[in-house]
Structure 1
Amino acid sequence: MDQDLVKAFRMQLKPGFEAEYKKRHDEIWPELSQLLIEAGIKEYYIFLDEETLALFAFQKLGSNEQTAGLAGLPIMKKWWDHMADIMEVNADNSPVAVSCPEVFRL
């Protein structure tokens, strides 16, 4: 039996933007949601540590996932630009994302 591929990573929210971050994701653009699904993301969760403002993201990926190409797409770059004012980002406005290796699975 194949296990789903998983990817987890940590990002950082800027202080005072907790509600705005949630609002923007509650209103995520339909074309971006569709693009993520088409890239093979079956499930995508983001959790907030309210004490440190660390964002923990978890993605369940299909075996045919093609997420590596998302960074080069205009809609992804537009989303990064939209989010750059409220979270820590790289020079290209992509979120600073630190990979979290899997250490346990039940």
Structure 2
Amino acid sequence: MTHRIVNSLVVPAAHLDEYRRRHDLLWPEIRAGITAQGGRNFSIFAAPELDRVITYVEVEDLGRWHAGAADEATRRWWRHMAEVMPTHPDHSPLAVPLPEVFHQD
């Protein structure tokens, strides 16, 4: 079964260009980690008028996907991104899961 995971993250509009630039230069170990955790079709959409970005990823195994938060490369990325977006004390992004209300294949 494919799970579609969508989150809303706080990214101030004033920092969106830098947020985009950093993702254009996404570290190879982060790309590899997304794949190793079973993530595919990962996308990020901007909503600057809301000071938000929306992330989307498809995974087969939710446990495998969520285990990536313990990865050191992920934690380093979070610290790097904390310069342009608010985070929790552990530097993980302020993210709100968005429940799916409709889907059509």
Normalised by the length of structure 2, the TM-score is 0.92
How far apart are the structure 1 equivalents of 2:45 and 2:19? 11
Deviant stretches of 4+, over 6 Å: none
How far apart are the structure 2 equivalents of 1:33 and 1:53? 25
The alignment's C-alpha RMSD in Å is 1.4
The equivalent of 1:70 in structure 2 is 68
1:91 to 83, 86, 89: 89
The reply to whether residue 33 of structure 1 matches residue 26 of structure 2 is no
Q: Give the length in aligned residue pairs.
A: 104
1:6 to 4, 17, 23: 4
- The answer as to whether partners of 1:46 and 1:55 remain within 8 angstroms in 2 is yes
Q: Tell me, which stretches of 5 or more residues in structure 1 are unaligned?
A: none
The reply to whether residue 61 of structure 1 matches residue 59 of structure 2 is yes
Between the aligned residues of both structures, percent identity stands at 27
Compared CA separation, residues 65 and 34, structure 1 to 2 (3 A): farther
Q: CA deviation at 1:68?
A: 1.5
Q: Tell me, which stretches of 5 or more residues in structure 2 are unaligned?
A: none
Q: CA deviation at 1:51?
A: 0.9
- The answer as to whether partners of 1:8 and 1:57 remain within 8 angstroms in 2 is yes
Deviations 1:7-49 (A, max 9, x none): 1110011241111000000000011101110100011111111
More helix by share: 2
